[in-house]
Amino acid sequence: ETGVTQTPRHLVMGMTNKKSLKCEQHLGHNAMYWYKQSAKKPLELMFVYNFKEQTENNSVPSRFSPECPNSSHLFLHLHTLQPEDSALYLCASSPRQGGRGYTFGSGTRLTVV
Amino acid sequence: GIQVEQSPPDLILQEGANSTLRCNFSDSVNNLQWFHQNPWGQLINLFYIPSGTKQNGRLSATTVATERYSLLYISSSQTTDSGVYFCAVYNAGNMLTFGGGTRLMVKP
């Protein structure tokens, strides 16, 4: 256990469903990140939150909607996804944005059918 | 943006063998990290290494920032070393950019 917890571990959803991914850290970190890992591709940064404020949106489609209610929790709301959105979604945190000490969760394996 | 290339993309070793993984980056970076992703998807930080050499057990890493590369050495490999090794660099905006990874399989 790294201190960053992601739920659920696995998720299968239809293209018309709405679901949410959750990430929680109790490391006292102030920055949180969502990454997407597709097969045969490098990890792609999706969103960055620093002290609950979104500081980076890496041209992510609007069907992905992040939410950061406090520095310990990060959500990724999903709606009307496409099969190509199937991937491993990883959450990470760090003491400050861009600083050392990145800690990753175990990820949510998402399959869109 | 900055490009990060890792080689080889795939590597198969017999248990006990040594290996060297390479990471090249296209521009000056503030820092560099090596990660290991186990077969269950968990990414673990191995080294935070802006320059020089660090060692941790059977693993060591060397970064030559002026020549824009880093090397990860694995000695006396074990089956538990299997997984994907990622190099990630901090760009000018202090954001981590990942390479494509080296997929390592260590056979017993």
pLDDT means per 10 residues in chain B (108 residues)?
Answer: 93 97 90 91 91 96 95 97 94 81 96
Structure tokens at B55: 């060692």
Structure tokens at B87: 């190099």
Alpha-carbon Rg of chain B, whole angstroms? 13
B44 at A interface, C-beta within 8 A? yes
User: Higher-confidence residue: A51 or B93?
Assistant: A51
Tell if the CB–CB gap between B95 and A90 is shorter than 8 Å. Answer: no
**What is the pLDDT at residue B42?**
87
How far apart are alpha carbons A15 and B71 in whole angstroms? 42
A40: pLDDT strictly greater than 80: no
Section A68-94 average pLDDT? 95
A4 at B interface, C-beta within 8 A? no
Q: Write down the H helix ranges in chain A.
A: none
**What is the pLDDT at residue A105?**
94
| Chain B interface mutation, best of A1, A88, A104, A109, highest count of B Cβ atoms under 10 Å | A104
Give, in order, the Cα–Cα distances in Å from B23 to each of A54, A86, B4, B62, B90: 30, 28, 7, 10, 13
**What is the pLDDT at residue B31?**
85
